[in-house]
Amino acid sequence: MATKTATKSVPKTKLSPLKKNSNGVLPHKIVSIDSKKLKDMENVFSLQKKKALELRHSTTKQRIKKLKSLKDLIFKYQPEIREALRADFNKSETETDLSEILPSIAECRDAIRHLKYWMKPVRANTPITLFGAVSEIHYEPRGTVLIIAPWNYPFHLAFAPIVGAIAAGNTVILKPSEYTPHTSALTKKMLAELFPEEEVAVFEGDHTVSTALTDLPFDHIFFTGSTNVGKIIMERASKHLTSVTLELGGKSPAIITDGADIKKAAHSILWGKFLNAGQTCVAPDYLLIPESKVDDFVEQAKKTVKKFFGSETEDKSSSKDFCRIVNARNFERVSGYIKEAVIKGAKIELGGEVDASQNFIAPTILSKIPKDSKIMEDEIFGPVLPIITYKNLDEAIDFVNSKPKPLALYIFTKDEKKINKILKSTSSGGAVINDLIIHLANSHLPFGGVNHSGHGSYHGFFGFKQFSHERSVLKQSPVSAIKMMYPPYNNLAKKLVDITTKYLA
């Protein structure tokens, strides 16, 4: 088959860096963008700022009505969503339903069921020193929010945060990815059918659009993408002190310990790794496994891949259940990782075939990875699983801790002591024991990263909370002990302060 590799890695998303003028001020117009489009964005933003003040008064009933309409809209356009994902990724209908439509519907339904309770003020304890007062936490909308969606799950990772933003009572501007044009265009069409632009608007385009949008003083920015671009987003947001949610990625490890069921582990790991052709932020980026278990794992992996996609390269490339790399640039990046690792001495245990004409990379497993290989430095974001061996569990833990904190960590073992040891000795956005990725399906768990893998979390109530400001409200009663400590500080006031400090504080 035709092959093509690359020598240069490219980021998942481009965004112009910040540039200051001679006074150290960030200028408003710093990118080359059509003046009419820029004017449109500014006008819509202005309209949304006004609308956001109105939405602060929206009721539970009004917000639920919008969420129900959004859910119905997804069902209505389900065939077109499938077609768009097929055009952008060659993604199967079932995988689209499983990874894009189902979780989006689930987010809508969860918000519809629970929004009444989420919006209620929450009583908070009041210390005895404030006797007479009542304390509450009120969830108020942040205001006008910007959502920058990625290309790897272009439908779900646009709609899931939109659900949280609408549930919390915000206006939204969405910037979908230019790398998935069919899905982005459909997303714009769908949202325009349901919402006026002063409430929800979509602006398509490349990195110049993202740059122009992040130059506006949004109340919150929600970004999903690479760590490098996340740093730029955070920097750009800082000029307006805009709060941010960063859903990033990193090198998420899978650890198999002695005594684990290798067959079950291989089945789960390869499903999670090759879902969406590895273009998943929580896909296992590498596997840590005892030296004695490598041959057994590879044998089970070959059987699993044959079951999933077929035994020959031609079977895999023609399989309707295995999608493609999103574009030529990312194909070149990932195939370049394979080529460079092999040149340096890595062994291809499975796969390795590529076809540039289709942006196809076969499910691939590599062993004997040189430490200086680029594949062990960058997030792979493709269907390639490097195997790293270890002699004892401490060695595996040290390897994980030698890298930035990952978005997810997966542990395969029957030993509870080993589970606890790994969890207490490492840090990650989330963790799953004896399975992969399924923690995303539980809306009662927060989903997000830590440090390099992200800031903030969402899904379910945590999404509502992410797009809300937790406002502290204290209601003072006519009888207040604290008023007895007002000036002038006579002997009674001094004694009360002394007693409070010693016994009540």
For this structure, is 281 an active site residue? yes
CA distance 47 to 365: 52
Cβ-based burial of 231 (10 A; exposed 0-12, middle 13-18, buried ≥19):
middle
CA distance 191 to 2: 41
CA distance 66 to 156: 18
Q: Which of 334, 381, 307, 353 is nearest to 151 (CA)?
A: 381
Q: Is 27 helix (H, G, I), strand (E, B) or coil?
A: coil
The answer to whether the CB of 215 falls within 8 A of the CB of 19 is: no
The answer to whether the CB of 158 falls within 8 A of the CB of 177 is: no
For this structure, is 247 an active site residue? yes
Among the listed residues 247, 332, 340, 379, the single catalytic one is 247
Q: Is 249 helix (H, G, I), strand (E, B) or coil?
A: coil
Q: How many CB atoms neighbour CB 489 within 10 A? A: 11
Q: Is 462 helix (H, G, I), strand (E, B) or coil?
A: helix
Among the listed residues 95, 198, 281, 323, the single catalytic one is 281
CA distance 106 to 139: 22
The answer to whether the CB of 248 falls within 8 A of the CB of 457 is: no
Give the residue numbers marked as catalytic: 247, 281
